[in-house]
Amino acid sequence: GSIGVSTRSSTANSTLTGVSQAPLISLIHIHSDAHPSGTLPANLPLRLSSTSPLTSSSLKWTWTEASGILTTLNPLDRLTNPGDPALILASGSLSAGESYRFTLEARDPNTGVSGSVTVKVDVLMSPRVTDVTYSPGEGVVSETKFRLVAYASVDDASQLPLYYDFLLRGMDEEMGFVSSVPQLENTRDVALHHTGLMEIGVQVTDLFGSMSTLWAPGTIRVQ
């Protein structure tokens, strides 16, 4: 008989329903309550799960992606088998700032009838650190209070709050943290306890653990 299908799509999930003998499929982008459905933090693995009222073992499953990422991906980054009804990709497999459209086709080999469903996933960028400043440019060891300021932004409010770790790097290239604990404030007043020329930087981490680092131009002189 003829097959009629209707497709409903959103960033959260997509559901395909079919009349006659077409397989019924529901494809869901698994996400935590912390970040919105349809988005993926840059440092987290992608997890797509499907369900069907038909016995999964009786269906043949095929995954594709519009940009071709599944054909060029390192096999070690695909954590599920190609014929599985679920798709898990290792963290870092997808490029931050890009959008991907994953399609799952289910085919009933007994009838030849198939159905497919697509879900769109946007990969969030890591925090953008636009500037790091310090003042004054020189001072006395353990006495002068230097003010360190960092400026950062994110793609999506779900990535907030941001955590700031200010960094020090001497001319010997050895790096250290100004504080042992990241802070929510983007400014810090600190006395430095080593003499010499110091570079100042910041490491900014979002709620999901994605991070970016930026070093300020120039150096602080501590005497």
| Residues 105 and 138 grouped into a single domain | no
Per-residue pLDDT, 32: 55
How crowded is the C-beta side of 108, counted as CA atoms within 13 Å?
17
| Residues 34 and 94 grouped into a single domain | yes
Confidence of residue 5 (pLDDT cuts 50, 70, 90): very low
pLDDT tens by residue, 70-83: 999 999 999 999 99
| Residues 115 and 9 grouped into a single domain | yes
| Residues 112 and 165 grouped into a single domain | no
| Residues 13 and 108 grouped into a single domain | yes
First vs last C-alpha separation in the chain: 87
pLDDT tens by residue, 28-62: 776 655 555 688 888 889 999 887 776 666 789 99
Confidence of residue 14 (pLDDT cuts 50, 70, 90): very low
| Residues 96 and 41 grouped into a single domain | yes
Last residue of a domain, one of 77, 106, 123: 123
| Residues 43 and 143 grouped into a single domain | no
The CATH number that applies at residue 30 is 2.60.40.10
| Residues 153 and 190 grouped into a single domain | yes
Last residue of a domain, one of 80, 97, 123: 123
Least confident segment among 75-89, 109-123, 127-141, 182-196: 109-123
Distance separating alpha carbons of residues 33 and 11, to the nearest angstrom: 14
| Residues 69 and 156 grouped into a single domain | no
| Residues 93 and 158 grouped into a single domain | no
| Residues 104 and 203 grouped into a single domain | no
| Residues 87 and 133 grouped into a single domain | no
Least confident segment among 25-34, 59-68, 134-143, 150-159: 25-34
Angle at 182 between CA 180 and CA 187, to 5 degrees: 110
Confidence of residue 20 (pLDDT cuts 50, 70, 90): very low
Last residue of a domain, one of 97, 123, 149: 123
Q: What percent of the chain has pLDDT over 70?
A: 83
Q: Count of domains in the chain?
A: 2
Least confident segment among 30-39, 90-99, 150-159, 181-190: 30-39
Write out the residue range of the structural domain in which residue 172 sits.
Answer: 128-222
The sign one gets for the Cα dihedral 177, 181, 184, 190 is negative
